[in-house]
A and B are shown apart, each in its own frame.
Chain A
Amino acid sequence: MAVEMLSYIERKSPVHRLTGVTKLLCFLIWSTVAMLTYDTRVLLFLFLFSVAIFKVSKIKWKEVAFVLLFILVFLLINNLAIYVFSPQEGVKIYGTRHVLLDIGGGRYSLTLEQLFYQFNVTLKYFTVIPAALLFLVTTNPSEFAASLNRIGVSYKIAYAVALALRYIPDIQRDFRNISLSQQARGIDMSRKEKLSKRLKNAASIIIPLILSSLDKIEMISNAMELRGFGKNKKRTWYRARPFQKIDIITLMLFIIMLIVSLYITFYDGNRFYNPF
C-alpha cells in the first residue's frame, strides 16, 4: 500500500483540539512573521517554539520525515544557489566584511557575514516548514472546509479543497495499481530505460489514471447533487466546532507574538539583526 503522505493524522492533543479556523489564522500569522523578519533572535525563538508545538501535537518526526527530507534537499540547493549567485550578499546587508577563507581573491571569498545571512535563510525554512506540515496533518479536512467557510470563503470552494485533500490517498492507490499492471505488460519505468522512453511510457499510466479519475469525479458530483449540495447559499457543518477558551488564548498569544516580533524586527529600522 502506498505511503499516505500529508494526510490527516488523528491524535488526541491540544493542537488537534484547536478549531481549524484558529489553526489557519495562527498559521497565517506565523508565516507572516517568518516572511517579514530576518531577525535572528525572532527566528530562533520561532524555531524553538515550533519544535515545542511539534512535541505537544504528538505527531512523530518519522511520520513527516519523507516530506521533510524532500524539502531539506531543496534547502540545500537553495543555499548553494545563493552562494553561487550572490556570495557577498551578507557583506552588503551587514556592512562589514570578515573574511574567513580567501578564495580566488575576492568574489567567492567566504565571509562571516555571508555565513550568518545564509544561516538566517535556513532558519526561516525551519520555522515555516514544520508549522506548515503540522497544520496539514493536524487539521481534519472536513473541519478545515468548515473553517475556510467560516472565514468567508464560499462553501463550494471550501468543500472542493477538502475533497481534493481527501482524494490524495485514493489517487496514490490508483496510480500504484495502474502502474503495476502496465509494468506487467512490459512497460518499464525503472532507470534501465532511456529517459525519453520513460516519459513516453509514463503516458500509458497517466491516461488510465485520468480516465478513472474522471469517472470518479462524475460519480461523486452526481452523489453530491443528489443529496442537495449547492441548493442553498449557506450550509451548516457537522464537524464545525465552536470557539473555545483554548482557541481564544492561542489566538491572543499569536497576535501578541506577531506584534512583539515585528517590534523587535523593525525597532532599529532594519529587517536584519546585526551582531557585527
Chain B
Amino acid sequence: MRKPVIQFENFSFQYRSQTAPTLQDINLTIYEGEKVLIVGPSGSGKSTLGHCLNGLVPFSYKGKVTGSLTIDGEDTQGLDIFSLSKKVGMVLQDPDGQFIGLTVAEDIAFALENDCLPQPQMITKVSEVAKIVDMEPHLEASTHQLSGGQKQRVCLAGVMVDEVEILLFDEPLANLDPATGKYAIELIDRIQQETNKTVIIIEHRLEDVLHCPVDRIIVIDDGRVISDMTPDELLASPVLEQCSIREPLYVRAVKYAGCRLTPELRPAHLDTFQINACKKQLHDWFEKVDIPKARDKTETILELKAIDFSYFPGQPTIHDVSFSIQKGEMVSIVGKNGAGKSTLSKLICGFEKPNAGKIYYRSQDITADTIKERALRIGMVMQNPNQMISKQMIYDEVALGLVIRGVPEAEIKERVLATLKICGLYPFRNWPISALSFGQKKRVTIASILVLEPEVIILDEPTAGQDFRHYTEIMEFLLELNQRGVTIIMITHDMHLMLEYTPRAIVIAGGRKIADDTAVNVLTDARIIEEANLKETSLFELAVRAGISEPKQFVERFIAYDREVRQ
C-alpha cells in the first residue's frame, strides 16, 4: 500500500480580497514518490494550489480555509510556514526574483544559514547538493551571470539542501529557451529517480513536460479538480480541449486526421505512441488538405546592414547582422537566452547605437535618428507590462503618447477610442488598470504603442506567461493588426508561436545571424536547432514516423489547417 504524502479533503480557499473562493472542494491524494503534473488555464487556481502546499497560503496570502490539507501525516492548520518549508521545497517561477545570495554557493546555503548550521558542515553540504544539479564548478559565480537554465538549477539546489520530501515546481519552463527547457525536464526526472522524492510540476506547457514520463496529470479549472488521470487516458479524452490547454501538436494532428485515440495507443509520448493504427488516416489527411499559399513579396520597410554592437569593448554582443523586413510581414527572432535578440530590438528602436553598420527605414538611413524620431515609425512593446504602465486609468495610459505629442484633444479621443476597440478594450475604457489581468495589461501596452500609429511593432515575448486561451487571443489580435498592414517583429522562445504565426524566422546565436528562413525550415533543420537551442517540432517526427514522404509539407499543411479550424 502506497503512503499518501499530500491529502486534500473537501478543501476550499478564499482570498480575503475576493468574493468567491479560488479553490473549491478539492479532493486529491498524492502518494510518496509520485510524479504529478498539475495543469490548468490562467486563473484556474493552480498556482493557489501550489501556494497551499508551501504555506504561502494562508500565512502570506490571507484568506479563509475550509476542509483539510494533510501533508506527511500532519494537518497544515497546525503547522507554520517554516515547518512546511522543511517538507515541501518550492522552485518559484522566476529564478531572478528568488535569488537571495550574491553567488551560487551563498544562494544554495541560504536555508542552511537560517537553520544555524555551522559553517564547515554548510560548505560540505552545499557542494554535495551543487554536484547533484551539476553546478559544482560554478559555486563562486555571481547569480547574475548565469544562464537561464543554470539559474533554475541553483534554485532547485537551494530547496534541495533542506532535505525536503516533496519538490514543487511552479512553471519551470516559463523563462527557458526550448532546449534548456527540455534539459530541465530531464534533470527533474533524473533527480526524482535518484532520490525518490515526490515531484509536483505546475505547468501549462503540456507537451514539453511530457518529454519525460509523469504518473498522473491533474487538470484544474475554475478552482476545481476536473480530471485526475494518467497521461495516456487524459490525451485520449476531450478534457484538454474543454478547458483550453494546448494538447501536444502531434496529438492534435492525429485527431484532425480522424483517428480515434485510446489509452491503449499510448499517446503520452511520441516514442511510445502506436502510430500504426493511425498511419492510413494520416496519409489520407495529408493528401486531402490544401497546400498553403505563399506570401507575395512587397517593398522592404526595414533593413539592417552589417550591424556590429558591443556593451563592453572587445566583447561583441552583435556581430555582422544583416536582414531586411518586408512591409506587412510577421517575423520572429529566435535563439538562445542571451544570444543578443533583445539587444537587436534595442538597436532597431535606437535605445542603443550600433558601433558599425547602418539601419534603413524605407531605404532612408535612420542610424543617426533619435529614439523619439524612430518611435514615430517603430513601436516597441516590452515583455513586462508593469515596466511600461504609468497611469491609473486605461484611457489615460493609451492617450499618454498623444498628449505628450500635443495632439488636439478631439483627435486624441477619437484615436484612443478607435484603438481601444481594435484591442478589445473598449468596454473597459474607464477602468483602472490595476483591475486588469496580466494578459489585459499586455493589451493595454500594445494599445498605447498602436495608438501612435507606427508601421512596425516589435514585441518582446508577447505571450510569456499566458495560457492557451490568452495566447490565442493575443496572437489572433496581432494577426489582425498584421492584416491591417502593420509589420510585426516578435522576439520569442515559443516554438509553437513561431511555427503557427510567423511564416519567417530569423535565428540568432552568439550574436550572429545563423539562419533566415521559413519557420518550418528552421524547425526541421537539425544543425540550426542544435546551435540556437531550439527544439524540433513533434509534427515533423510524427510525419517521419508515419512514413509521409514530405514531412515538411506535412508540418506546413497542419499549421494552415489548424488555424482555420481554430478560428
Contact = CB atoms under 8 A, between A and B. Distances in A.
B85 A222 contact: no
A1 B115 CA distance: 38
Contacts, number: 155
B404 interface: yes
Interface in A158-206: 163, 166, 169, 174, 177-178, 180-188, 201, 203-205
Interface string A213-234: 0011001101111111111101
Nearest to B381: A181
A101 interface: no
Interface stretch (B102-110, B298-306, B469-477, B540-548): B102-110
Nearest to A163: B100
B58 interface: no
Interface in B104-122: 105-106, 109-119, 122
Given A183-B372, A227-B100, A236-B113, A177 B382 contact: yes
A203 B400 CA distance: 12
Interface in B359-391: 371-372, 374-375, 379-380, 382, 384, 386-391
B203 to A, nearest CB: 19
Given A142-B106, A178-B387, A188 B97 contact: no
Given A184-B380, A226-B55, A238 B388 contact: no
Nearest to B378: A184
B79 to A, nearest CB: 13
B56 interface: yes
A216 B114 contact: no
Given A220-B98, A223-B97, A229-B114, A238 B372 contact: no
Interface string B510-554: 000000000000000000000000000000000000000000000
Nearest to B384: A212
A236 B92 contact: no
Contacts of B105: 238
A238 B112 contact: yes
A216 to B, nearest CB: 6
Nearest to A237: B113
A37 interface: no
A232 B372 contact: no
A227 B448 contact: no
B158 interface: yes
Contact of A223 (B98, B113, B349): B98
Contact of B60 (A141, A216, A225, A235): A225
Contacts of A205: 390
B116 A235 contact: yes
Nearest to B93: A219
Most buried by A among B99, B115, B346, B390: B390
Contacts of B106: 142, 238-239
Interface string B157-192: 011001000000000000000000000000000000
Contacts of A226: 54-56, 81, 85, 90, 92
Contacts of A240: 119
A186 B401 contact: yes
B376 to A, nearest CB: 9
A229 B113 CA distance: 9
Nearest to A219: B97
A181 B92 CA distance: 28
B119 to A, nearest CB: 6
21 contacts: A8-B102, A178-B388, A184-B380, A203-B390, A211-B389, A212-B386, A212-B387, A215-B386, A223-B97, A223-B99, A224-B110, A225-B59, A225-B60, A226-B54, A228-B82, A229-B100, A231-B115, A232-B114, A232-B116, A237-B119, A238-B113
Interface of B: 54-56, 59-60, 81-82, 85-86, 90, 92, 94, 97-103, 105-106, 109-119, 122-123, 126, 144, 158-159, 162, 311, 346, 349-351, 371-372, 374-375, 379-380, 382, 384, 386-391, 400-401, 404-405, 448-449, 452
Interface of A: 1, 8, 140-142, 163, 166, 169, 174, 177-178, 180-188, 201, 203-205, 207-208, 211-212, 215-216, 219-220, 222-232, 234-240
Given A226-B54, A227-B114, A229-B114, 14 more contacts: A1-B311, A142-B106, A174-B387, A183-B372, A184-B379, A184-B380, A186-B372, A211-B386, A216-B97, A220-B100, A225-B81, A228-B82, A228-B86, A229-B110
